Structure 1
Amino acid sequence: MNNSLPRQFALDISHTPKPSLSNFLAGENLALCSTLRDVVQSWGNKKTFATEDDVLNARWIYWWGPEGSGRSHLLSALETAAEQSGLICFALTPHEPISWVRLEEELTILSLSDTASIITVDDIDRLDERLIASLFRILNEVRASKAIHIFMAGNAAPSALTLREDLRTRLGWGLVFQTHLLGDDEKILALQEAAQARGLVLSAEVLPWLLNRFYRDMPNLMALIDALDAYSLETKRAVTLPLVRELLQPK
C-alpha cells in the first residue's frame, strides 16, 4: 500500500464543503445521526429542554469509536448547525486550552439562559489533568442548566477511558453511542457523494483502486478527493487512474 502523502495535498482546498449531517454517510451510525438531526431540528424550532430528567435527553450525548468512524465530522456538523441557527457554540479540543477558559467564564450566564447553547468536546481520551478538571466542572454546570447542549467524542466507551472515575460516570449520564467504520461499499458511496458535491467526475476504476492502494480511513480518503479536485482543475484533466497515479507519486 502506498502510504506516502500525495504531493498536491498542499493545494488550495478552501472550496471543500463544511462537515454537515447531510454529507455524512450514516452506515451503521443511523441511530446516532437520527438523534442528532432531531436535536438540530429542535434548535430551529427554538425549543429548549427544562425538565428534571433532562440530563438523559438529547442535550447530553457522548459517542465513541475508532479513528475514521466520523467522530469529529459529527461534532463539526453540529458546530456548523449551531452557527446556522444563530446559537452560541464552544468547540473544545485538547489542543486549544484558551477555549476552555473562555467557556468557563461564560458558563454561569449560559446555564441560566432559556436559549439553547452548544458545547462540543473532541478527543476526550487525550485531555490532560487540567482539562479533565475543567470538563468535570463544565458537566456539573450543564446538568444544572436549562438549555445547554453538550456533545462529546472519544476513542472508547466511558467505562474504558483512562480518566478519573467521577468523570467516566458523568459521561454516561446522557445518551451514549458507538460509531462504526464504513464498509468498502459504503466508503465508495460516501466518496462518490463527496466528489459529486464538488462537481468532480471520477472514472469507474478510481475509487476501488484507491481503497486497495491508498489509505483506508475516511479523513485521508476525503482529503484525497479534495486533492484530486484541485489537481484536476490545475491540470485541466479528467480524474482517471493515470492522473491519480501521477498525483500519488512521491516528490
Structure 2
Amino acid sequence: MNTSSLPKQFALDLSHSPKASLDNYLCSKDLALLSTLHALCKSWGDVASKQSTNPLNHRWIYWWGPEGSGRTHLLDAIDNAAQNAGIECFSLSPSEPTAWVRLEEKMSALAQAESPSVITVDDVDRLDERLVGALFRILNGVQASKNIHIFMAGKAAPANLELREDLRTRLGWGLVFQTQLLDDSEKIQALEQAAKARGLVLSPDVLPWLLNRFYRDMPNLMALIDALDAYSLETKRAVTLPLVRELLQPK
C-alpha cells in the first residue's frame, strides 16, 4: 500500500509519529541489547556521570539484523536520548558524507573532552571505500578517548559484512547484538499494548485484518494505531473493521 493513496488525516499522522525512544522500541528477543542501552542512557542523565570514564571501556556497540527489525529505531532513540541529556551527538549514514568530514575534524577535541559525546552510524553495510576508511579512523579515536560513545548498525554480523577485513575485525572488538523481527503474535501483542496505552479499544478482528491487508512493518502499523485513535475521537465511533476500512479508503 502506498501512503500517497491514504486519506489526508492518516498521512498527517504518519508525519507526526512519536519520536523514537527505547521505551517505544518493540522488543522481541533483544532484551540484553535493550538493557545495555537503557543503562547507558540512564548514566547520561546523571550530571556526575559527565565527568566519568567511558562505561564501555573504550569500546563500542554494534547491532545487526534484517530490515524492519528496529535497527534504525534504536539508533534514533540513542540520538534523541543524547539530545535530551544535553550531550553532543553526531548521526552518520552513507547518504550524508559531509557529516563524516565534520566529525573527523572534531575527533581530536572530542577524544580529550571530559564530557561525553555520542556517535551513531546507520547502514554500516552500505559504506563505500572512503567512508569505511573514515569509520576505521573514528573507531581509533574512540579507543583513545575517555567519553566518546559510538553505536553502529548494519544488516549482517561483523564477520559477514562485505567490508575491509581490518574494519570487520575492529567492529567485532565491541559488544555485538542481533535484532530480530517480531512474529505476528508479537506484533499483535505490541499493537494491543500500544492501543491500551492510548485508551483505545479495538474490535478483535481489526489487528489480524491489518496484518494481512496493510503494512507489516511496525513503524507504519504503530502510526496507524495513532491514526485510528485520532479518527475514533473525531468520529466518536468505536474502532471496528468498518471504521478501519473507512479510514484507509482513498479520498
Instruction: State TM-score, norm by structure 1.
Output: 0.87
Q: Any residues of structure 2 matched to 1:1-251 within 5 Å, and which? A: 3-5=1-3, 7-8=6-7, 9-13=10-14, 15-45=16-46, 46-47=48-49, 48-49=52-53, 54-56=57-59, 60-232=60-232, 235=235, 237-250=237-250
Secondary structure at the residue paired with 2:90?
Answer: strand
Secondary structure at the residue paired with 1:32?
Answer: helix
**Alpha-carbon separation, structure 2, partners of 1:197 and 1:110:** 40
Secondary structure at the residue paired with 2:177?
Answer: strand
- Aligned residue pairs, count: 245
- The one-letter amino acid of 1:26's match is C
Q: Give how far 1:73 is off.
A: 1.1
**Alpha-carbon separation, structure 1, partners of 2:57 and 2:131:** 25
Q: Which has the higher contact order (CA 8 A, sep 6+)?
A: 1
Specify whether residues 119 and 215 from structure 1 end up closer, same or farther in structure 2 by C-alpha distance, changes over 3 A only. Answer: same
Unmatched runs of 5 consecutive residues or more in structure 1: none
Unmatched runs of 5 consecutive residues or more in structure 2: none
**Alpha-carbon separation, structure 2, partners of 1:109 and 1:221:** 42
**Alpha-carbon separation, structure 1, partners of 2:189 and 2:239:** 17
**Alpha-carbon separation, structure 1, partners of 2:92 and 2:180:** 23
Q: Give how far 1:160 is off.
A: 0.7
Q: Give how far 1:110 is off.
A: 0.6
Instruction: State TM-score, norm by structure 2.
Output: 0.87
Alignment RMSD:
2.3
Deviations 1:87-108 (A, max 9, x none): 1111112222222222112111
Secondary structure at the residue paired with 1:75?
Answer: helix
**Alpha-carbon separation, structure 1, partners of 2:16 and 2:249:** 24
Q: Give how far 1:152 is off.
A: 0.4
- The one-letter amino acid of 2:53's match is F
Q: Give how far 1:138 is off.
A: 1.0
Q: Give how far 1:13 is off.
A: 4.5
Specify whether residues 245 and 54 from structure 1 end up closer, same or farther in structure 2 by C-alpha distance, changes over 3 A only. Answer: same
Q: Identity over aligned residues, as a percent?
A: 68
**Alpha-carbon separation, structure 2, partners of 1:69 and 1:75:** 12
Could you tell me whether the CA contact under 8 Å between 2:63 and 2:176 is conserved in 1? yes
Could you tell me whether the CA contact under 8 Å between 1:16 and 1:198 is conserved in 2? no
Secondary structure at the residue paired with 1:17?
Answer: coil
**Alpha-carbon separation, structure 1, partners of 2:163 and 2:42:** 33
Secondary structure at the residue paired with 1:25?
Answer: coil
Deviations 1:71-128 (A, max 9, x none): 1111111111111111111111222222222211211111101211100111111222
Secondary structure at the residue paired with 1:176?
Answer: strand
Secondary structure at the residue paired with 1:195?
Answer: helix
Deviations 1:140-179 (A, max 9, x none): 1111111100000000001111111111111111100011
Could you tell me whether the CA contact under 8 Å between 1:116 and 1:149 is conserved in 2? yes
